[in-house]
Structure formats: C-alpha cells, structure tokens
Amino acid sequence: MQKGDVAGTVSVGGRSSFGFFNDGSWSSSGSGVGGQVRVRLAPRVNTDWFYDYLTAPIGDFAHRQDQHIGWSVLFYLREPGEMPQFIQPYVLAGHCFDYTKQQANADLANFAERWSSAVQAGLGTHINITDRTDVSVEGQYMIHLGTDVHAHEENGVVEFHKENGASLEGHLLLHISFNYKLFDAW
C-alpha cells in the first residue's frame, strides 16, 4: 500500500468555509477561513481536528463572527486500494465548540457573545491529486446547543437579546480544503 493510504497517517492543511442559513430573521450567508490536522486511525477511518473563523452580516445594522473548534470522524465509502483512490467519498460526524460574537455596525461596544456546543454530520470527498496531497470538498449540517442570542433593530437602535433557556441553532457549512500528508505516526 502506498504511503499516505494507511492507518497512522498525519496530515495538515487549510480550508475555506461558507456558512448558509444562519438562524434568525436576518439570515444571510457568511464565509470563513481555517485549518485542520488529520490523524488516520484505520484504513477507512480518518479524524479531522479543525478550527474555523467565519464572519457574516446581520441585516445592514450588525454582523457576527463565529469561531469553531472541534473534530469529525470520516468514514471512507470506498475500500482503500493499492494506490490512493483518486476520488474517496466519505461520511462524517463529530463535535464542535463555537464562540459567537454579534456586534452593531455603528457601535462596536454594543455586542453580545455566546459559547455553545455543537454536533455536525455531512458528506464529502477527497480528490487525491497525488499520494500525499488532496483537495477535499464537504458539506455538513451543524446544530448548536446554547442560549439564544439575536440582534434586533428598532428606531435605529440595535439591541441584542440573550434569552434564558436552551436554543437549537443550525447552519449548513461547505468546506473546500487542502491537505498534505506529513508522516506515518505508526
């Protein structure tokens, strides 16, 4: 089996992210940047340890910044062969912690913030350009569990509401990443 298509492979890379369907009446898409380290536990099971920084507008009066740190397990749908498969689709699921900060555009001192935990699941595929380098495309749905924070504008005044109790907030994420296999750890 070629190096890079076996258990124990450690790889590193960067990615661009696009977030859709941010919750609330001012839903809009955002974009982000991040990176990941991959540790392959078995020939068909990889793990993705990631960080993302995303920004998005809230109407024309406020904006939000989201930071994700978490991990996903990738299960490969095709049996690894003698050579790495050029296309290697996978199913993923994992956990994530999220820090959200929402700020008024006209007054950055007017803001609300929140920590939440999340679970995510989705589909993706590696495009193995060489034995060591791949580009990956994946879509996942991420559900956050935390308190509800939302922005509201009335008579030109931006207010942030932080509700009591739990709230589920979901969004679709599309990632395009690159990865380079550094070494085989075992």
Type of residue at 92: L
- Give whichever of 56 and 92 is closer to other proteins, judged by the CB atom: 56
| CA neighbours closer than 13 Å in the CB half-sphere of residue 91 | 2
Of the candidates 96, 73, 102, the residue with the CA atom closest to the CA atom of residue 17: 96
Considering beta carbons, is residue 41 or 55 the nearer one to other proteins? 55
Which residues pair with residue 74 across a beta bridge? 46, 92
Cβ 33 to other proteins shortest distance, Å: 4
Is the CB of 63 or the CB of 114 nearer to other proteins?
63
Least separation in angstroms between CB 100 and other proteins: 13
**Nearer of residues 38 and 63 to other proteins, judged by Cβ:** 63
Min separation Cβ 125 and other proteins, Å: 16
Name 157's Cβ contacts closer than 8 Å, sequence gap at least 6: none
Q: Are 39 and 50 in contact (CB under 8 A)?
A: no
Which residues would be at the binding site for other proteins (CB under 8 A)? 14-17, 28, 30-34, 53-57, 59-61, 63-64, 103, 105-106, 108, 129-130, 132-133, 135, 176, 178, 180
- The minimum distance between CB 165 and other proteins, in angstroms, equals 28
Compute the least distance from the CB of residue 43 to other proteins, in Å: 22
Look up residue 117 and give its two tokens.
């935990």
Closer of 12 and 119 to other proteins (Cβ): 12
- Do the beta carbons of residue 77 and residue 91 sit within 8 Å? yes
CB nearer other proteins, residue 44 or residue 101: 101
DSSP 119-166: EEEEEEEEEESSSSEEEEEEEEEEEEEE--EEEEEETTEEEEEE-SS-
Structure tokens at 17: 């992210």
Cβ at position 150, least distance to other proteins in Å: 16
CA–CA separation, 103 vs 110, rounded Å? 6
